[in-house]
Amino acid sequence: MKHIIGILGGMGPAATADMFQKFIQLIPASCDQNHIPLLISSIPDIPDRSACILNHQQDPEQHLLTYLHNLEKAGATCIVIACNTAHFWFDRLQAKSNVKMLSMIDSTVNCAVKMGVKKIGLLATNATVATKLYQNALEKQGIDVVLPTTEGQDQVMESIYLYKAGKIEQSVSLMEIEQQALLEQGAECIILGCTEVPLILSEAMKKQPHFYIDSTLELVKTAIDWYYQQ
């Protein structure tokens, strides 16, 4: 095998499994041998990214770097990260990586640009919002960003943690309220800027797929394109 894509996941496991499933769904394969080779790291002891950025708790960088190098040693020739907030460390990880890395932020913003939207909502973790990973990239492209209110952002974060804890119905209820609030503020569509959010809003996405940009899906598309270009 000439090329292997490594998934740096575990943040959380369900989001990592969702990325794997999207690779399977999108690859035009008629048999096992037609699928893209993947290596998946889903070791969940990586310290909480938001807690580090916002509350100066344990830094996950060394864990991320260790598991990234493990993927390299196992044969990965390209690496994607199955977590938006972890992209705060993307440049530092890429600088210490021996292989190509693909950015979830870039892939998602590129999709928004291609869609031609001028005003877009963002559902993401507190840390992703606070570090402006998406806002800065979108505003450079002339796209206005609509965010939840302070109270609404607290509800988004609560929804994400509820989902991680297996409290699915409560999680969905909170997130649906906040996504509707963004649409009412004039957002043409919404970036699902946390890898748990596409899972939380999966039913809503089936009903109105044009309202959403799934960051996991966009990164998978970019990775598949990369693979076939090699």
Catalytic residue among 52, 111, 189, 194: 194
- Any catalytic annotation for residue 194? yes
Pull the structure tokens for residue 56.
């100066």
In this structure, are strands 78-81 and 5-8 parallel, antiparallel, or unpaired?
parallel
Q: Are 123 and 190 in contact (CB under 8 A)?
A: yes
Q: Which residues of 16-35 are buried (b: 16+ CB within 10 A; e: fewer)?
A: bebbbebbeeeeeeeeeeee
- Is pLDDT above 90 for 2? no
DSSP string computed for 127-156: HHHHTTHHHHHHHHTT-EEE---HHHHHHH
pLDDT value at 134 more than 90: yes
- Tokens read off for 62: 């060394």
pLDDT computed for residue 1 by the predictor: 59
83 catalytic residue (yes or no)? yes
pLDDT digits (tens, 9 = 90+) for 70-108: 999 999 999 999 999 999 999 999 999 999 999 999 999
Model confidence pLDDT, tens digit, residues 14-25: 999 999 999 999
Of the candidates 36, 53, 46, which has an alpha carbon nearest to the alpha carbon of residue 67? Answer: 46
Domains and CATH numbers, the chain: 5-103+217-229 (3.40.50.1860), 105-215 (3.40.50.1860)
Phi/psi of residue 194, nearest 5 degrees:
-140, 135
- Pairing, β 78-81 against β 38-41: unpaired
Distance CA 230, CA 228 (A): 5
Evaluated on CA atoms 195, 196, 201, 202, the torsion sign reads positive
Considering 78, 83, 111, 189, which one is annotated as catalytic? 83
Residue 188, phi-psi category: left (phi > 0), alpha (psi -120 to 50), beta (remainder) = alpha
Question: What is the phi-psi region of residue 166: left when phi exceeds 0, alpha when psi lies from -120 to 50, beta otherwise?
Answer: left
Give residue-wise pLDDT tens across range 165-191: 999 999 999 999 999 999 999 999 999
Q: What is the mean pLDDT of residues 105-119?
A: 98
Q: Where are the alpha helices (DSSP H) in 27-149?
A: 49-55, 61-74, 90-96, 104-115, 126-130, 133-140
Average pLDDT over residues 5-20: 97
What pTM was computed for the model?
A: 0.96
**Predicted local confidence at residue 185, as pLDDT:** 96
